[in-house]
Every structure is written in structure tokens, then in C-alpha cells.
Amino acid sequence: MDVDIRWVGATLSKNGIIEESGVSAAIMGHPAAGIAWLVNKLHVVGAGLKKGQIVLAGSFTRPVDIAAGDVIQVDYGPLGAIGVSFT
């Protein structure tokens, strides 16, 4: 509750060059809004989420093409960063 998640920003770098950036409010105003939408739509058709299912809230950066040897880094500022390399 210490962070207003709507204002979390990120930069996505590929091989050290920033390719994309965004703020989480770009996901329907709040990342949880997409999950709420999904649950409500499932309810209408008599379905729902089941224990253990993984649901992704969406991305506030566009996808980038990757190839073997690429290194992707996403920096969320004060919340930290994550990186992955592809072989």
C-alpha cells in the first residue's frame, strides 16, 4: 500500500538501448482493472478463475523482437529491475 501502482513506470532495454517505456496506468487505468474485467466476463458465462491458474495483468510496454544473443532489461525504478539473456 506504500506505492500507488498506477504510477509505476518502466523502461525496457534491448542490448543496452531503451526500446520502450510506459506507465502501468496505461493498462485500463490500473493493472488490476483488466483482471476485474476478466473475472466479471467469466462470471457472466458461468465460469471463473480456478486455484493455481496464472493470469497476466497486461503489459505497459509493447513487445520487442528478440533473437539469440539478445539481452533484455526492464527497469522499474525504485521497485527494481529484471533482466534476461537469450541463447
Output the CA torsion 63→11→59→69 (10° steps): 40
Model confidence pLDDT, tens digit, residues 36-51: 999 999 999 999 999 9
State the pTM of this model. Answer: 0.76
Model confidence pLDDT, tens digit, residues 63-82: 999 999 999 999 999 899 99
What is the C-alpha radius of gyration for the chain, rounded to an integer number of angstroms? Answer: 16
Domain locations along the chain: 5-85
Q: What is the 3-state secondary structure (H, E, C) of 4-71?
A: CHHHCEEEEEECCEEEEEEEHHHCCCCHHHHHHHHHHHHHHCCCCCCCCCCCCCCCCCCCCCCCCCCE
